[in-house]
């Protein structure tokens, strides 16, 4: 069985596209996939009921991504890949990367190809490029490797260690957005006003560096404050929606140590850091029926 996890960016999204570090966690929810030889190449995605044929110049990103994935295996039989997606799409949880990682993992298994999870992450970048244009690589890296890690474009993941688990709650705004468009919007702002946007990136980098220390020290009060500050900077880059802001405020009022949007923004998900497991469950109730708890050990 192939598996690709979902991921949550704790801090540093968007700035990571421009070379700053970010901290992300792999979550238990993700995508499982299996592959077997078949009469023709086909990718089935449930629960969406999609059957995708590979086409390098197809109109659908999934057609092009599947073609790019198959091209990594020049000599192979036709393959049917079936993937079960447990993540909302366009929600900032790295759904597209998780499908790519799970599909490649399943194909490797069907063809008895051995590769490390790091090599799998690198291979899945061909998939992610089709969806995101200019991906930092954080989604496919976290999807394949998991844990809690500091990531900087072009560098290996740096796993972070802590003896205190993170009690995260992930809330979904119900609004989907396009990562490609949100990344392009930040790129436009950078071009129009480099001084302002570079300052925002520098501030985010400081927050990420302090968050690394807070995670390693198990100081979740400090980490929560850093999440709140990161949310404010992302708002200044026009990435938040009023729904995401409302959810973050509701989480803080209900006892979260900190809360922020996560991923591309413009909709999608937010995260809240709970002091303890039982409080995480309480926050879940406040954040609505799609909210779930992700307990992450570093």
Residues 142 and 159 sit within 8 Å (Cβ to Cβ): no
Number of residue whose CB is nearest ligand PMV? 263
Q: Which of 183, 233, 237, 296 binds ligand PMV (CB under 6 A)?
A: 183
Applying the rule CB under 6 A, the residues between 129 and 148 that interact with ligand PMV are 132, 135-136, 138-139
CB atoms within 10 A of CB 11: 31
Supply the minimum distance, in Å, between the C-beta of residue 263 and ligand PMV. Answer: 3
Residues 62-121 touching ligand PMV, rule: CB under 6 A, are 92-94
Residues ≥6 apart with Cβ < 8 Å to 49: none
- Least distance in angstroms from the C-beta of 186 to ligand PMV: 8
| Contact range with ligand PMV by CB under 6 A, out of 113-121, 141-149, 262-270, 283-291 | 262-270
Work out which of 4, 11, 13, 100 binds ligand PMV, going by CB under 6 A.
13
- Tell me the helices (H) and strands (E) count for the chain, helix number first: 10, 11
What distances in angstroms separate CA 201 from CA 16, 88, 101, one per listed residue? 9, 28, 29
Q: Report DSSP state, residue 218.
A: T
Catalytic status, residue 139: yes
Q: Which residues of 42-65 are buried (b: 16+ CB within 10 A; e: fewer)?
A: bbbbeeeeeebebeeeeeeebbbb
Q: Which two tokens stand for residue 159?
A: 């796993």
- Single out the residue of 258, 263, 266, 267 in contact with ligand PMV (rule: CB under 6 A): 263
Catalytic residue chosen out of the listed positions 139, 193, 219, 228? 139
Active site residue ranges: 139
Q: Which residues bind ligand PMV (CB under 6 A)?
A: 9, 13-14, 16-17, 92-94, 132, 135-136, 138-139, 179, 183, 263-264, 268
């Amino acid at each position: 069985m192939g598996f690709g996890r979902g991921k949550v960016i704790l801090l540093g999204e968007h700035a990571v596209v421009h070379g700053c570090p970010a901290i992300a966690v792999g979550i238990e929810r993700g995508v499982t996939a299996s592959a077997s030889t078949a009469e023709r190449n086909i990718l089935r995605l449930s629960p969406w009921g999609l059957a995708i044929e590979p086409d390098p110049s197809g109109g659908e990103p999934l057609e092009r991504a599947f073609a790019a994935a198959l091209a990594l295996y020049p000599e192979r039989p036709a393959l049917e890949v079936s993937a079960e997606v447990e993540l909302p799409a366009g929600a900032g949880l790295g759904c597209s990367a998780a499908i790519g990682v799970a599909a490649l993992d399943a194909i490797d298994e069907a063809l008895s190809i051995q590769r490390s999870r790091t090599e799998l992450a690198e291979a899945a970048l061909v998939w992610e490029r089709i969806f995101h244009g200019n991906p930092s690589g954080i989604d496919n890296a976290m999807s394949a490797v998991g844990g809690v890690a500091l990531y900087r474009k072009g560098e290996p993941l740096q796993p972070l260690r802590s003896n205190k688990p993170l009690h995260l709650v992930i809330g979904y705004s119900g609004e989907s957005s396009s990562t490609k468009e949100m990344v392009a919007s930040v790129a436009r702002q950078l071009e129009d006003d480099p001084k302002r946007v570079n300052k925002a990136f520098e501030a985010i980098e400081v927050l990420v560096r302090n968050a690394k220390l807070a995670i390693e020290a198990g100081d979740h009060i400090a980490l929560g404050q850093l999440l709140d500050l990161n949310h404010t900077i992302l708002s200044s880059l026009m990435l938040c929606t009023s729904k995401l802001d409302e959810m973050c405020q509701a989480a803080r009022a209900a006892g979260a140590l900190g809360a922020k949007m996560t991923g591309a923004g413009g909709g999608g998900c937010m995260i809240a850091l709970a002091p303890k497991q039982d409080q995480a469950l309480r926050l879940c109730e406040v954040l609505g029926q799609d909210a779930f708890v992700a307990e992450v050990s570093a």
